[in-house]
Structure 1
Amino acid sequence: MFIKDKNTEMTIKNNVGKVVIYTFLLVFGLFSGTMNAQCAMCRAALTSEGNAKQAAAVNDGIVYLMVIPYILVAGIGYAIYRMKKKKTS
Structure 2
Amino acid sequence: MKQKILFLLVSLLAFMQTNAQCAMCRAVLESEEGQSTAEGINDGIMFLMAIPYIIVGTIGYFIYRTYSKSRKP
TM-score by length of 1: 0.50
8 Å CA contact 1:43–1:55 kept in 2: the answer is no
* Correspondent of 2:36 among 44, 53, 75: 53
Cα distance in 2 for partners of 1:64, 1:55 equals: 14
- Give the aligned residue type for 1:39: A
Alignment of 1:9-24 (within 5 A): none
Aligned length: 52
> What do the CA deviations read for 1:44-79 (whole angstroms, capped 9, x no partner)?
223321241101101101110110111011000010
Q: Quick one: percent identity of the two aligned structures?
A: 38
Identify unmatched segments of 5+ residues in structure 1. Answer: 1-37
2:62 alignment counterpart = 79
1:39 alignment counterpart = 20
TM-score by length of 2: 0.59
RMSD, matched Cα: 2.1
8 Å CA contact 1:47–1:55 kept in 2: the answer is yes
Structure with more relative contact order (C-alpha pairs < 8 Å, separation 6 or more): 1
